Amino acid sequence: MPVLTLKMPNGVEQSVPIVGALTTVGRSRENVLVIDDPSVPACAFQIENSAGEFSLSVIDSDEVLVNGKKRGEAKLSVGDVIRLGPAELLFCESMPLPAPRAGAAAGDGEITDLEALNKLVRFSEKLLGRYELDALLEQMMDQVVDLTRADKGFLILLEGTEPRIKVARNIRRENIEDAINRVSDSIIASVLRSRE
């Protein structure tokens, strides 16, 4: 999944995955990628995703450069550099990997924030393309089980005052048969009381 990585002269860096059909860039908080600089227009340009082909279109700026050349429109490729005022944006294939934490051993089994974010982004992409509620809930529970490293997960919703198990999944991404007998009534009651 392509990513725009913003680099400012003051050292601020931010990466934003391009997941929708349209990604806007500018100073306004309504943009997908916000560049907090007074010289940047409210909405300077947009990137359109058309079946995996990415194109940049300038909306309100005379200062958009793609690979050093002023462009009103441009097809984007991995590695392209976009300049907008003081900002430099890199069109990347995926999220940049963070530097390893001091003392963290490689393969220590810990899910990094970046890995968790990437999993959530992939799930969001699935949400955009699928409309069957039962399948979406199963996929959501699979992601929750994976991210929390649990053995199983249950989605329990209140119908009136009665808790009902809507989804019960295990680590192998399978439905749990007879789920009602695998959930503690006292734990459900405690969660309902405390709301935690």
Residue 99 predicted with pLDDT over 90: no
Token couple for 14? 């931010």
Q: Calculate mean pLDDT across residues 164-184.
A: 84
Residue 92 predicted with pLDDT over 70: yes
pLDDT at 109: 54
More confident residue, 7 or 157: 7
Q: Calculate mean pLDDT across residues 62-66.
A: 88
Q: What is the DSSP letter of 166?
A: E
Residue type, 13: E
For residue 21, give the nearest of 44, 54, 45, 43 by alpha carbon: 54
Q: Check if the beta carbon of residue 47 is closer than 8 Å to that of residue 23.
A: yes
Q: Calculate mean pLDDT across residues 170-191.
A: 81
How confident is the model over 145-155, as pLDDT tens digits? 877 888 888 88
Q: pLDDT-derived band of residue 110, with 50, 70 and 90 as boundaries?
A: low
Q: pLDDT-derived band of residue 127, with 50, 70 and 90 as boundaries?
A: low
Mapped onto helix, strand or coil, the DSSP state of residue 142 is helix
**Of the given ranges (37-46, 109-118, 131-140), which has the lowest mean pLDDT?**
109-118
pLDDT at 73: 93
In the chain, domain spans: 3-92, 113-194
Per-residue burial over 163-179, b = 16 or more CB atoms within 10 Å of its CB, e = otherwise: beebbbbbeeeeebeeb
pLDDT at 106: 47
Look-up of token digits 């990628």: 33
Question: What is 3-92's CATH number?
Answer: 2.60.200.20
pLDDT at 58: 94
How confident is the model over 27-50, as pLDDT tens digits? 999 988 899 899 999 999 999 988
Q: Calculate mean pLDDT across residues 170-196.
A: 80
Number of separate helices (H) and strands (E) present in the chain = 3, 13
How confident is the model over 67-89, as pLDDT tens digits? 999 989 999 998 999 999 899 99
